[in-house]
A and B are shown apart, each in its own frame.
Chain A
Amino acid sequence: MTQPEQHLHDPANVTNPEHASHHIVTPRVYAAVFATLLACTALTVFAADINLGVFNPIIALAIACFKGVIVILFFMHVKYQSRLIKVTVGAGFFMFLVLVTMTLSDYISRAWGLW
């Protein structure tokens, strides 16, 4: 049984009568993530101006994925949630990959559309 975390003044124990572990993410963490997101946005724009050939879209998508991951983990609290929530999020992205991969397998096996 986890110890109750004293993050807020709650003498009547209204929020959490069963003393479930509940992590409150602080504004400091949010500020750090916010700054990182803005920095990555600037990085994406600058990287777009440099000719890196086939790596331009790869880098742009990699930065976007990183931004998405830190929004999910911190702004959406997933890092502090139960395994159920984490698996749910993972399942969502897995199904998205299935969507893209299976549809792509259809199109790349044909030649129409290309000119």
Chain B
Amino acid sequence: MDSAIANPQAEHDTAEHEHVVLPQHRHHFATQEQQREAGSFGMWLFLLTEIMFFGGLFFAYLLYRNWYYDAFVTASNQLSVPLGAANTAILITSGFFMALAVWAAEVRKKALLVVFLIFTIVFGLAFLGIKADEYHEKWEKHHIPGASFDASEFINPAAFGLQEKPLAPDAAQKTQMFFFLYFAMTGMHALHMVIGIGLLFWLLARAQRGDFSAGYVAPIENFGLYWHFVDIVWIFLFPLLYLINRHPLAH
């Protein structure tokens, strides 16, 4: 399985027929396979920059969770695990439909491709809807870091009917660090999803026009790589943000 980029001549020489020039073929590529692989390689390079981008945020999380562990536990327990788990399942389902969309494009089934892209969008929007609901709850409880942040729920949880270890006032302020990372990481993730859904609508329009039902799969395939990457980021965000020390209090 040598790379078509490294070995374009091997495939070029053994072709037994005249070159078929496809409409999407760019002539600085010797073969169509080389072009496809170069596109895929380029998308992966972009995803590598995204790994480093989110990686920085994940590192900040790693550090502050270790420095302010008790504050992170108490703050994390304010997040809704059912909503987070549902969102994880929704996003995984969206990724499943995106993978099916790539398959449908590869086997030239236009109607199925359109349906699968629609499902990908629907589940993506469902994810964002639940996220918006969670953000709204944070807004109402004054858990958005900044001037209006209210730490009283963490200083005196019993008064709010919560079974949590109370934090000293200076420790309770450290929960702002958790919420800052929560909004920064899930917000950046949500921004990636919004951009992705925008691209999906464009791909949907092109798919409906038949652009991807005649063998030209690369845009669908490469967008799939982006969408699955966004899915993987959430797969890590969910346990790290929602499931810190969730077991019944046995401190």
Interface residues in chain A, defined as those with a beta carbon under 8 Å from any beta carbon in chain B: 1, 7-10, 12-22, 24-27, 30-31, 33-34, 37-38, 41-42, 44-45, 48-52, 56-57, 60-61, 63-64, 67-68, 71-72, 74-77, 81-85, 88-89, 91-93, 95-96, 99-100, 103-104, 107, 113-115
Per DSSP, are chain A's interface residues mostly helix, strand or loop, or mixed? helix
Given contacts A16-B215, A30-B103, A74-B99, 15 further A-B contacts (CB under 8 A): A8-B107, A9-B108, A17-B15, A20-B33, A41-B88, A41-B89, A45-B85, A60-B240, A64-B240, A68-B236, A75-B96, A76-B225, A92-B51, A95-B51, A95-B52
Query: Contact: B48 with A95, CB < 8 Å?
Result: yes
Say yes or no: A18-B235 contact (C-beta < 8 A), given A49-B247, A51-B248.
no
Bound CA span A28–B221, Å: 18
Number of inter-chain CB pairs below 8 Å:
188
Interface residues in chain B, defined as those with a beta carbon under 8 Å from any beta carbon in chain A: 1-6, 10-12, 14-15, 17, 19-20, 22, 31-33, 37, 40-41, 44-45, 47-48, 51-52, 55-56, 58-59, 62-63, 67, 81, 85, 88-89, 92-93, 95-96, 98-100, 102-103, 106-108, 214-215, 221, 224-225, 228-229, 231-232, 235-236, 238-240, 243-248, 250
Say yes or no: A37-B4 contact (C-beta < 8 A), given A92-B48, A99-B55.
no
Say yes or no: A34-B44 contact (C-beta < 8 A), given A60-B243, A76-B228.
no
Bound CA span A10–B108, Å: 10
B177 to chain A, nearest CB (A): 11
Say yes or no: A82-B235 contact (C-beta < 8 A), given A14-B215, A34-B96, A71-B228.
no
Bound CA span A93–B44, Å: 12
Contact residues in B for A76 (Cβ distance below 8 Å): 224-225, 228-229
Contact residues in A for B95 (Cβ distance below 8 Å): 71, 75
Instruction: Kindly report which residue of chain B lies nearest to residue A74, judged by CB atoms.
Output: B99
Which single member of B2, B48, B62 contacts A91 (CB below 8 Å)? B48
